Structure formats: C-alpha cells, structure tokens
Amino acid sequence: MSILLVGAQGQVGQALLPLLAPLAEKWGPVTAVGRQQLDLTNLAAIATFVKVLQPQLIINAAAYTAVDKAESEPELAHLINAQAPKVLAQSAAECGAQLVHISTDYVFSGQVGSPRCETDATDPVSVYGNTKIAGEDAIRAVLGNHIILRTAWVYGTQGKGNFLKTMLRLGKDRREVNVVADQVGSPTWAYDLAEAIVALSLNAAAHPGLYHYTNSGVASWYDFAVAIFQEAKALAIPLEVQRVNPIVTADYPTPATRPAYSVLNCQKSRKR
C-alpha cells in the first residue's frame, strides 16, 4: 500500500505535501516525485515507475502550465497534459489504483456569463485548455476509479509563480501597475485547494468523477491586484506601488486567449 504524488515541486504539489497524513493513514507512505525523479515526457518511464511502486492512490499535480508558451509548444503541452495522464490512468488501472488529477477552468471559453457546472459542455479557446480537456477525456476513457478536479486562479506561497507573486514583484519596483479588469474568476488559495483534494481523495472510491473546486466569490484580476496590495500594506510589506489602473484585455494582448467569465459552479464538491 502506498501513494504516488506526481508534481510534488509545483505550487499545488507543495501545498499538498504537509496535508497528506490522512491519506497516508489509509493508503500508506507517500512517494512524492518532481520532474527529476519522474519526467512526464517519458511515457515508458511513467508506466515502469507505477508498475514498480504499485501505489493504491496516484495524485497528479503536475502539468504543463505555461498558458501562453503552450501556443507555440502544442506538442509538448499535449504530451504532458494529455498523453502522460493517459499513461498514469492506464498504469493505475493495471495496479488497481485510483487516480486524482487536477484540471482547469480553461476547458471553458468563458463566453457564458454564469458559473459553469461539471455537466456543461467544454469549449476551450487555448492550446493549454485543449490539452487539459484531452487529458481529462483520456483518463475517463481508461479508468473509472478517478477524480478529476477542475480549479482556477490558484495562488499560494510556493511554486515558480502565480498572480500574487507577480503583483508583489511588480509592486516592489513600480509606482503604477496596469491590470486587466474585464476577466473575472475565483482566486483560489492553494492550501484550501489542497484540503479539497485530500477530502475528495478520501471519498474517491465511493464518489468518483468530475468535480469543480475554487474558493467562493468572483473578482477580476484588477480586483485581485487591489486586494493583494491592500493586504500587503496591512502587513507592512514594503512596496513602491501607489496606483493600480484597470485596463481591458485588448490593451494587454497575450499569445493565448483567456476566458472572460471564468467562474466554476462548485456545489457538487461542496457537498462532499
């Protein structure tokens, strides 16, 4: 009996690590791997790793998450976000494990102005979103015993980068920061997400399937930035920033199109 955590060095992986005790009680010791121990671009290595470890629970917190870069690296993004999860799911099926996999609000276009449910049709508008839905579909096709948890706008203290860290970095040197105000979503604290992953994992066998989880409330990136700077001020974090200017998406062009209204209906996961 053991647990395999893939993507242990990422923002969500790092948030999960200290919370895994209840899972370890049920399924045994945790083997937590980052890219150096298990490179998801090596599909044969994934199958071998799982075959040797024989875990009862696999949590996949790894992904190709560079949304803009994915537009110019679609094959690599597909390999990591779709083919690797498929092999993880096949390997889980072979050793009787359940797989918990993290997905994204970017499987939706954000063109509908109401929170999206698990039963709503997906319509991704970016390479990243397309590769993530391909990963979901591949898991569903080969493994019944899975949880796919879509989340959004994750921020925490660990991992390479997130909006919170970017704002604090910009706010250190700049007196004014321009932030997009016409994209809205639900900023989600990585440690709340990690708790939800643990809770759903414990129930996975009884209640497998697709779930949405974010923190509650809706904000634009501009609202989020204002809140970050207010909080930083309250905590006496030294910042140069004096002004946050709301701008429109058209004034901040990026390679990937992002959903305008990116809110998930999380009622199903809140009941678990």
Question: Which of 152, 167, 194, 263 forms a contact with ligand NAP (CB under 6 A)?
Answer: 152
Nearer to ligand NAP, 219 or 242 (CB): 219
- Give me the half-sphere count of Cα atoms (radius 13 Å) on the Cβ side of residue 71: 10
Q: Annotated catalytic, 252? A: no
Q: What angle do CA 213, 218, 224 make, to 5 degrees?
A: 105
Query: For residue 172, what are its two tokens?
Result: 């250190």
Question: Which of 5, 50, 57, 63 forms a contact with ligand NAP (CB under 6 A)?
Answer: 63
Question: Which of 61, 77, 87, 241 forms a contact with ligand NAP (CB under 6 A)?
Answer: 61
User: Per CB under 6 A, does 62 bind ligand NAP?
Assistant: yes
Rounded distance between C-alpha atoms, residue 184 and residue 263, angstroms? 7
What is the maximal distance between C-alpha atoms in the chain? Answer: 57
Rounded distance between C-alpha atoms, residue 109 and residue 99, angstroms? 26
Binding mask 14-43 for ligand NAP (x = CB under 6 A): --------------------xx---xxx--
User: Per CB under 6 A, does 7 bind ligand NAP?
Assistant: yes
Instruction: Select which of 64, 106, 128, 213 is catalytic.
Output: 128
Contact of 179 with 221, CB cutoff 8 Å: yes
Rounded distance between C-alpha atoms, residue 121 and residue 107, angstroms? 9
Residue position matching structure tokens 């604090």: 168
Nearer to ligand NAP, 61 or 260 (CB): 61
User: Per CB under 6 A, does 186 bind ligand NAP?
Assistant: no
Which residues of the shown chain bind ligand NAP in the complex (CB under 6 A)? 7, 9-13, 34-35, 39-41, 61-65, 80, 102, 104-105, 132, 151-154, 159-160, 162
Query: Catalytic amino acids?
Result: 128
